[in-house]
Chains A and B, each alone.
Chain A
Amino acid sequence: MYGTTAKILRVDLTNGKIETETLSEDFYRLYPGGKALAGHILLNELPPHTDPFAPENVLVFANGLLTGAPISTATRYIVSARSPLTGGYGESEAGGFWGPELKMAGWEAIVVKGKASKPVYLWINGDQVEIRSAEHLWGQMAAEVQEAIRSELGDAKIRVLQIGPAGENLVRYAGITNDLRHFNGRNGLGAVMGSKNLRAIAVRGTQRYQALAYDAQTLLGIGGKLAKSVKENPLSWDLQDRGTPGLVEPLNTGGILPTRNFRQGAFENMDEVKWEVYEKELLTARRTCYACAVRCKREVTVDGRESAYGGPEYETVGAFGPNCGVGDIHAIAKANELCNAYMLDSISCGVTIAFAMECFEHGLLTLEDTGGLDLRFGNAEAMLEMIGRIARREGLGDLLAEGSKRAAEKIGGEAPFFAMQVKGQELAMHEPRGKYNVGMGYAISEIGADHLVVAHDSAFARPDTIQLKSAAPLGIMSALPPRSLGEEKMEMFYILEKWGSLEKVVGYCFFGPAPRSFIPVEDVLLSINAATGWNLTMEQALQIGERATNMARIFNLREGFSRKDDTLPERLFQPLENGALQGQAMPRDEFEQSLTILYGKKGWHPQTGIPSPEKLRQLGLDWAIEMLPSGG
Chain B
Amino acid sequence: MKLYTGGHLTFYMPGRKPTLELPLSEPAPLREILARVGIPLAEVALVALNGEQVEMDSAIIQDADVVRIFSSVDGG
- Per-residue CB contact flags for chain A residues 435-475 toward chain B (1 = under 8 Å, else 0) read 10010000000000001100110110111111100000000
Instruction: Contact check, B76 vs A456: say whether CB atoms are below 8 A apart.
Output: no
* Bound CA–CA A463/B46 (angstroms): 15
List, in ascending order, chain A residues with CB within 8 A of B71's CB.
234, 238, 250
CB distance from B18 to the nearest CB of A (A): 8
- A465 and B42 in contact (CB under 8 A), knowing A238-B8, A313-B76, A456-B75? yes
* Bound CA–CA A455/B53 (angstroms): 24
- Per-residue CB contact flags for chain A residues 501-542 toward chain B (1 = under 8 Å, else 0) read 000000000110000100000000000000000000000000
Chain B: CB-nearest residue to A274: B6
List, in ascending order, chain B residues with CB within 8 A of A234's CB.
8-9, 11-12, 43, 71
Instruction: Contact check, B8 vs A464: say whether CB atoms are below 8 A apart.
Output: no
B76: which of A247, A249, A464 is its contact (CB, 8 Å)?
A247
Chain B: CB-nearest residue to A579: B53
* Bound CA–CA A313/B75 (angstroms): 10
Instruction: Contact check, B74 vs A456: say whether CB atoms are below 8 A apart.
Output: yes
List, in ascending order, chain A residues with CB within 8 A of B16's CB.
237, 241
Residues of B within 8 A of A (CB): 6-12, 16, 42-43, 45-46, 48, 53, 68, 70-76
List, in ascending order, chain A residues with CB within 8 A of B12's CB.
234
A32 within 8 A of B: no
CB distance from A460 to the nearest CB of B (A): 9
A126 within 8 A of B: no
List, in ascending order, chain A residues with CB within 8 A of B75's CB.
244, 451-452, 455-456, 510-511, 516
* Bound CA–CA A462/B70 (angstroms): 14
- A459 and B42 in contact (CB under 8 A), knowing A238-B11, A249-B68? no
Name the residue among A241, A246, A438 with the largest chain B CB count within 10 angstroms.
A246
Q: How large is the interface on A (under 10, 10 to 19, 20 to 34, 35 or more residues)?
A: 35 or more
* Minimum-distance CB pairs A-B, first 3: A456-B74, A244-B76, A458-B72
A39 within 8 A of B: no
Instruction: Contact check, A463 vs B42: say whether CB atoms are below 8 A apart.
Output: yes
List, in ascending order, chain B residues with CB within 8 A of A237's CB.
8, 11, 16
Q: Could you list 7 further interchain pairs (A-B, Cβ under 8 angstroms) beyond the known A250-B7, A254-B70, A461-B72?
A: A234-B11, A250-B73, A251-B73, A461-B45, A462-B42, A510-B76, A516-B74
Instruction: Contact check, B46 vs A254: say whether CB atoms are below 8 A apart.
Output: yes
A235: which of B8, B68, B76 is its contact (CB, 8 Å)?
B8
* Bound CA–CA A314/B7 (angstroms): 13
* Bound CA–CA A238/B7 (angstroms): 6
CB distance from A524 to the nearest CB of B (A): 17
Residues of A within 8 A of B (CB): 234-235, 237-238, 241, 243-244, 246-247, 249-251, 253-255, 275, 313-315, 430, 435, 438, 451-452, 455-456, 458-459, 461-467, 510-511, 516, 580
B45: which of A235, A241, A247, A250 is its contact (CB, 8 Å)?
A250
- A238 and B10 in contact (CB under 8 A), knowing A458-B45, A461-B45? yes
Main secondary structure of the interface of B (DSSP, over half): mixed
List, in ascending order, chain A residues with CB within 8 A of B68's CB.
249, 253
List, in ascending order, chain B residues with CB within 8 A of A461's CB.
45, 72
Chain A: CB-nearest residue to B48: A253
Chain A: CB-nearest residue to B42: A464
Instruction: Contact check, B73 vs A455: say whether CB atoms are below 8 A apart.
Output: no
Instruction: Contact check, A246 vs B74: say whether CB atoms are below 8 A apart.
Output: no
Instruction: Contact check, B70 vs A253: say whether CB atoms are below 8 A apart.
Output: yes
Instruction: Contact check, B8 vs A459: say whether CB atoms are below 8 A apart.
Output: no
Question: Can you sample 13 A-B contacts with CB below 8 Å?
Answer: A234-B9, A237-B11, A238-B7, A244-B75, A249-B70, A250-B6, A253-B46, A254-B53, A314-B76, A456-B72, A456-B74, A456-B75, A465-B72
- A430 and B70 in contact (CB under 8 A), knowing A234-B12, A254-B53? no
List, in ascending order, chain A residues with CB within 8 A of B73's CB.
246-247, 250-251, 458
Name the residue among B6, B43, B70, B75 with the largest chain A CB count within 10 angstroms.
B75
Instruction: Contact check, B72 vs A241: say whether CB atoms are below 8 A apart.
Output: no
Instruction: Contact check, A459 vs B76: say whether CB atoms are below 8 A apart.
Output: no
List, in ascending order, chain A residues with CB within 8 A of B43's CB.
234, 465-466
List, in ascending order, chain B residues with CB within 8 A of A235's CB.
8
Instruction: Contact check, B74 vs A255: say whether CB atoms are below 8 A apart.
Output: no
Instruction: Contact check, A246 vs B6: say whether CB atoms are below 8 A apart.
Output: yes
CB distance from A111 to the nearest CB of B (A): 30
* Bound CA–CA A141/B12 (angstroms): 44
Chain A: CB-nearest residue to B47: A253
List, in ascending order, chain A residues with CB within 8 A of B70's CB.
249-250, 253-254
CB distance from A265 to the nearest CB of B (A): 11
* Bound CA–CA A430/B72 (angstroms): 13
Instruction: Contact check, B74 vs A455: say whether CB atoms are below 8 A apart.
Output: yes
* Bound CA–CA A244/B75 (angstroms): 8
Instruction: Contact check, A467 vs B11: say whether CB atoms are below 8 A apart.
Output: no
List, in ascending order, chain B residues with CB within 8 A of A313's CB.
76
* Bound CA–CA A149/B71 (angstroms): 44
List, in ascending order, chain A residues with CB within 8 A of B74's CB.
247, 430, 435, 438, 451, 455-456, 458-459, 516
* Bound CA–CA A438/B75 (angstroms): 10
List, in ascending order, chain B residues with CB within 8 A of A430's CB.
74
